[in-house]
Structure 1
Amino acid sequence: MKALTLSLALTAGLLLQAPAQADTLLVERVQSEQGQALPARGQSMRQVEATFGAPQHKHAPVAGPNDTKHNPPITRWVYPNFSVYFEHSHVIDAVANKASPEEIGPKPVQ
């Protein structure tokens, strides 16, 4: 029992000496950037490009096997601060990109 108490006391002492470190969460940054304009759901590719300019990268469409009604082609365009996802040629979502590799958020799809 004495060994357990001593062990816990030493662990607590080491933790108190460790420097505090804070991670920037993607959710926190997104909330702070709420004023940033993003493409609206339903906009066409042409409307997005007219409003936001050409994307840095246009990924090729990816579709599920066989039935495109249930597995439509999804295309992703990458801009400096956000990515836009299209189903066929219309926006289904726009999300903020990670600011740095250290930012905690969703893992990229490989």
Structure 2
Amino acid sequence: MTIKRALTGTLVTAMFLTLAPVSGTFAEELRVPVGSQADRGQQNVPRTGTTQASVRASWGQPASVEGPVGQPPISQWNYGNFVVYFENDRVIHSVLTPQR
């Protein structure tokens, strides 16, 4: 009977560890105070689907570039008041930098 309980306990523990989320492993959390958020519709930032060449032609050389990392390759270009995220050669998102 004790072997059966031990195996059941081990099985339950293994299932719990398999299903339990591992926090902080897959993503970073970014918090922007509500008063610091801006309406993207009122800002001049690159739109989704724009090529890297078009972004460079319209906004110039970025202050810094990070990546590419992962699969598909994601990179980010930092432009002081906004950041542009690319998947391969295309914009997937533009984010305003919080005003300090």
TM-score (norm 2): 0.61
Which residue in 1 is equivalent to 2:74?
74
Which residue in 1 is equivalent to 2:88?
88
Whether 2:53 is the aligned partner of 1:35: answer no
1:36 & 1:81 partners in 2: Cα distance? 10
Identity of aligned residues (%): 35
Relative to structure 1, the CA distance from residue 47 to residue 60 in structure 2 (aligned partners, 3 Å threshold; closer, same or farther) is same
Counterpart mapping for 1:35-54 below 5 A: 35-54=42-61
Instruction: Check whether the contact 2:74–2:86 (CA below 8 A) recurs between aligned residues.
Output: yes
Residue ranges of structure 1 left out of the alignment (5+ in a row): 1-23, 64-70, 101-110
Residue ranges of structure 2 left out of the alignment (5+ in a row): 1-31
- List structure 1 segments (4+ residues) > 4 angstroms apart after TM superposition: none
Partner SS, residue 51 of structure 1: helix
More strand by share: 2
**Root-mean-square deviation (CA), in Å?**
1.9
2:40 & 2:46 partners in 1: Cα distance? 14
Shift of 1:77: 0.2
